[in-house]
């Protein structure tokens, strides 16, 4: 577009007046080129709303000047900017060498280069080379658009506009009929996706015992029954003669989406690969403030204990999070599934909890309860492997391979999820999974619940006047107990190992001395003792519950207030 500053500059300035008039004349000629008698007038009074003849339009413009921001003459035969540029973008941006081919090169380097002296695994390599040949094959004889690029673009269009599968197939048929003879654009969505399949993320279905005792993997991979609880892996039907017949339909499926390839993919693009080192190299504007989990003491303590692993900034720390999720809306079936998320914590504060960086890693069907550690098995196995062995990963930012180690840092949960995650029952006498058995709540006989009333005076300094207060707390009671000791990771592990399993499940002494329900799978990780904060209480839920109770009590809402007859 030629420079149109003159439209607003020349008007009303004496030197440029003649030039302005000449240019307006040019504009008028161009506008009425196609022989219309009247056109929308662009003067500042008519504002393209009123139609004028060529003569009066010229008078108007000279008198009133152009309407503001009318540098693109869309009412006078010029194309609209947005439309024009989008079209141009597609044509210009297209470059067979950059774009997809570049991405594939990255992918290739990431997977197959410099992996020390090992042959690339055959099936993946073959898939990859198949795909590479597709990427380079031109769509038809007279273009340098590759087939791969074409597929990627139509599939992107499909997801952008939400085209249905049928619609997409029909669209491809039309495209195919428009293209030259001998083109290789796929005819259906199935064919298109088949060609892209090797770029997909891996995903596993693991059959589980319907009671949740174990997963049918590793040594049980081919079993049809679980020997201990005698439950069937497959759906059973009566075959008529009193016997049960197993169908080929599994009863319960746990879906596992390995998180390591997903984290590796973060390293495959330059931007996120650089962001993955943020926690060490990132710039801190105010060092005295904490803005990232890496500023916490738990993180630093871990770094001190494991200097070798922590020395490499690219090693990834992850958080695990789980929560009950009712997929069928709030009111429908009393069913919930428990997705487990893996969140890499290396990323900078603004990016860390963005949607694309929270990986869904495990979907547990139904409430896992005390069998959480069973379902977590594949995830923990991967974590263990990534800590002990490391995974070869290609880093796009430095263009080198490195051995990535991944470890667990902490987990944000709400309280019920916390309970199943660490294996401490939060209902009953010992509802605090942090204090554990050191904090015994009192039973309110009339209220029918446990309460932490008057349990916090022991945390006060020893000379605090509240400790001697016999009026305002429990009547006539003075507290001289020292605050309970926080348990270290090693102490908890020792405690758990000392527990004896009762016959028929559960631990001896449950509900009396402790509230352990299970040995969480996380204890298999060798570095658990070094984590100062292995799990944390979710601020959001505790804040909400406190606020809810306060609101109900202050506003005296009938069924919400805590100051009721029972209290």
**In the range 383-422, which residues lie near other proteins by CB under 8 A?**
410, 412-415
Binding to other proteins by residue 291, rule CB under 8 A? yes
- The answer to whether 52 touches 41, Cβ cutoff 8 Å, is yes
Q: Which of 444, 490, 491, 501 binds other proteins (CB under 8 A)?
A: 444
Of 51-70, binders to other proteins (CB under 8 A) are none
The binder of other proteins chosen from 173, 453, 501, 511 (CB under 8 A): 453
Q: How far is CA 6 from CA 18, 62, 79, 118, in A?
A: 11, 13, 20, 68
Binding flag, residue 564, other proteins (CB under 8 A): yes
Please tell me whether residue 200 binds other proteins under the rule CB under 8 A: no
Nearer to other proteins, 107 or 341 (CB): 341
Q: Using CB under 8 A, which residues numbered 356 to 385 contact other proteins?
A: 358, 360
**Does residue number 91 form part of the binding site for other proteins (CB under 8 A)?**
no
Size of the site for other proteins (CB under 8 A): 97
Residue 556: DSSP 8-state: T
SS3 472: coil
Nearest approach, Cβ of residue 278 and other proteins (Å)? 13
Tell which residue, 404, 436, 448, 389, has the closest CA to residue 534.
Answer: 436
Q: Minimum distance from CB of 342 to other proteins (Å)?
A: 11
Indicate which single residue of 77, 190, 459, 502 sits in contact with other proteins (rule: CB under 8 A).
459
User: How far apart are alpha carbons 206 and 208 in whole angstroms?
Assistant: 6
In angstroms, the CA 423 to CA 519 distance is: 6
Contact 306, 527 (CB under 8 A): yes
Residues 531-560, one symbol each (x = binds other proteins by CB under 8 A, - = not), give -xx--xxxxxxxxxxxxxxxx-xxxxx---
Residues 258 to 287 in contact with other proteins, rule: CB under 8 A? 286
**CA 314 – CA 399 distance, rounded (Å):** 13
CA distance 393 to 406: 11
Verify binding: residue 304, other proteins, rule CB under 8 A.
no
**Window 13-42: contact mask with other proteins (x via CB under 8 A):** ------------------------------
Distance CA 110, CA 103 (A): 10
Q: What angle do CA 302, 307, 309 make, to 5 degrees?
A: 90
Instruction: Report the residue from 369, 447, 505, 526 that binds other proteins according to the rule CB under 8 A.
Output: 447
Task: Please name the residues in contact with 370: beta carbons below 8 A apart, sequence gap of 6 or more.
Answer: 420, 423, 517, 518
- Minimum distance from residue 27 beta carbon to other proteins (Å): 41
- When asked if residue 511 is in the footprint of other proteins (CB under 8 A), the reply is no
Provide the minimum distance between the beta carbon of 463 and other proteins in the complex, in angstroms, as a whole number: 13
| Contact predicate 41/48, CB 8 Å | yes
Instruction: Work out which of 36, 127, 133, 452 binds other proteins, going by CB under 8 A.
Output: 452
181 part of the interface to other proteins, by CB under 8 A: no
The nearest distance, CB 188 to other proteins, in angstroms, is 22
Task: Find the part of the chain contacting other proteins (CB under 8 A) among 199-207, 232-240, 400-408, 437-445.
Answer: 437-445
456 lies in the binding site for other proteins (CB under 8 A): yes
In the range 490-509, which residues lie near other proteins by CB under 8 A?
Answer: none
CB of 432 to other proteins, least distance (A): 6
Separation of alpha carbons 316 and 420, rounded Å: 25
Q: Which stretch in 141-149, 222-230, 465-473, 520-528 sits in contact with other proteins by CB under 8 A?
A: 465-473
Tokens of residue 478, six digits: 């003075």
Q: Of 27-35, 46-54, 256-264, 319-327, which part binds other proteins (CB under 8 A)? A: 319-327
Under rule CB under 8 A, residue 235 binds other proteins: no
Instruction: Find where tokens 């009425």 sit.
Output: 32
- Greatest Cα pair distance, the chain, in angstroms, is 108
Residue choice 19, 166, 245, 328 for contact with other proteins (CB under 8 A): 328
- Name which of 217, 347, 231 is nearest 282 in CA terms: 347
Q: Which stretch binds other proteins (CB under 8 A): 79-87, 429-437, 490-498, 522-530?
A: 429-437
Half-sphere exposure at residue 125, Cβ-oriented, CA atoms within 13 angstroms:
9
Burial readout 237-274 (b: 16 or more C-beta within 10 A, e: otherwise): eeeeeeeeeeeeebbbebbbbbbbebbbebbbeeebbb
Structure-token pair, residue 559: 């069924």
Considering the complex, state which of residue 283 and residue 471 has its C-beta at the smaller distance from other proteins.
471
What are the tokens at 295?
A: 């500023």
- Output the six-digit token pair for 488: 């270290």
Does 169 engage in binding with other proteins (CB under 8 A)? no
* Cβ 259 to other proteins shortest distance, Å: 14
Give the nearer residue to other proteins in terms of CB position, either 28 or 163. Answer: 163
- The residue from 112, 473, 495, 510 that contacts other proteins (CB under 8 A) is 473
C-alpha dist (Å) from residue 331 to 117, 326, 336, 559: 57, 9, 12, 21
Using CB atoms within 10 A of its CB, is residue 349 exposed (0-12), middle (13-18) or buried (19+)? middle
Residue 545 · residue 420 · CB < 8 Å: no
Q: Does 468 bind other proteins (CB under 8 A)?
A: no
What's 325's DSSP letter? B
CB of 533 to other proteins, least distance (A): 4
**236: which strand partners?**
246
The stretch near other proteins (CB under 8 A) out of 61-69, 205-213, 345-353, 397-405 is: 345-353
State which of residues 232, 454, 510, 527 lies at the interface with other proteins (CB under 8 A). Answer: 454
Pick 56 or 553: Cβ nearer other proteins: 553
**Residue of 17, 190, 325, 335 that binds other proteins (CB under 8 A):** 325
306 binds other proteins, rule: CB under 8 A: no
**Looking at 355, 482, 504, 512, which residue binds other proteins (CB under 8 A)?**
355
* Look-up of token digits 């273009």: 143
């Amino acid at each position: 577009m030629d420079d149109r500053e003159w439209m607003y500059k020349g008007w009303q300035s004496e030197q440029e007046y003649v030039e302005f008039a000449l240019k307006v004349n040019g504009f008028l000629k161009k506008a009425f080129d196609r022989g219309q008698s009247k056109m929308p007038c662009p003067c500042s009074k008519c504002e393209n709303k009123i139609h004028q003849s060529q003569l009066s339009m010229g008078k108007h413009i000279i008198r009133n000047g152009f309407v503001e921001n009318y540098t693109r003459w869309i009412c006078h035969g010029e194309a609209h900017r947005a439309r024009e540029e989008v079209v141009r973008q597609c044509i210009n941006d297209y470059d067979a060498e950059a774009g997809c081919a570049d991405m594939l090169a990255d992918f290739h380097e990431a997977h197959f280069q410099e992996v020390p002296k090992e042959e690339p695994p055959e099936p993946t390599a073959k898939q990859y080379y198949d795909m590479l040949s597709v990427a380079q094959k031109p769509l038809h004889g007279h273009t340098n658009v590759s087939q791969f690029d074409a597929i990627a673009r139509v599939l992107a269009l499909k997801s952008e506009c939400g085209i249905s599968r049928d619609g997409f197939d029909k669209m491809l048929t039309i495209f195919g009929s428009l293209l030259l003879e001998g083109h290789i654009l796929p005819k259906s969505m199935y064919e298109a996706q088949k060609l892209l399949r090797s770029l997909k993320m891996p995903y596993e279905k693991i059959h589980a015992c319907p009671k949740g005792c174990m997963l049918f993997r590793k040594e049980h991979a081919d079993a049809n029954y679980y020997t201990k609880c005698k439950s069937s892996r497959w759906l059973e039907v009566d075959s008529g003669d009193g016997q049960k017949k197993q169908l080929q339909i599994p009863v319960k499926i746990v879906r596992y989406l390995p998180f390591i390839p997903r984290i590796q993919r973060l390293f495959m693009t330059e931007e996120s690969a650089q962001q993955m080192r943020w926690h060490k190299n990132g710039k801190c504007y105010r060092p005295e403030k904490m803005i990232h989990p890496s500023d916490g003491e738990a993180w630093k303590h871990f770094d001190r204990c494991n200097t070798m692993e922590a020395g490499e900034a690219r090693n990834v720390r992850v958080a695990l999070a789980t929560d009950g999720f009712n997929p069928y809306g709030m009111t429908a079936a009393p069913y919930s599934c428990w997705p487990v998320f893996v969140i890499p914590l290396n990323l900078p504060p603004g990016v860390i909890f963005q949607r694309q960086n929270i990986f869904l890693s495990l979907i547990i069907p139904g409430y896992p309860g005390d069998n959480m550690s069973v379902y977590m098995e594949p995830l923990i196995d991967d974590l263990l492997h990534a800590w002990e062995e490391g995974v070869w990963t290609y880093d796009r930012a430095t263009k080198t391979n490195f051995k990535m180690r991944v470890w667990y840092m902490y987990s944000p949960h709400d309280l019920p999820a916390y309970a199943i995650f660490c294996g401490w029952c939060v209902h009953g006498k010992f509802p605090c999974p942090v204090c554990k058995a050191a904090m015994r709540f009192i039973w309110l006989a009339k209220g029918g619940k446990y309460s932490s009333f008057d349990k916090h005076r022991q945390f006060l300094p020893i000379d605090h006047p509240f400790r001697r207060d016999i009026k305002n707390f429990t009547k006539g009671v003075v507290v001289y107990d020292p605050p309970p000791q926080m348990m270290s990771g090693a102490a908890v592990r020792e405690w758990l190992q000392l527990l004896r399993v009762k016959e028929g499940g559960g631990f001896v002494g449950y509900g009396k001395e402790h509230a352990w329900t299970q040995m969480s799978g996380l204890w298999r990780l060798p570095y658990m003792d070094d984590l100062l904060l292995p799990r944390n209480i979710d601020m959001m839920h505790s804040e909400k519950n406190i606020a809810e109770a306060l609101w109900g009590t202050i506003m005296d809402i009938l069924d919400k207030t805590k100051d009721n007859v029972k209290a």
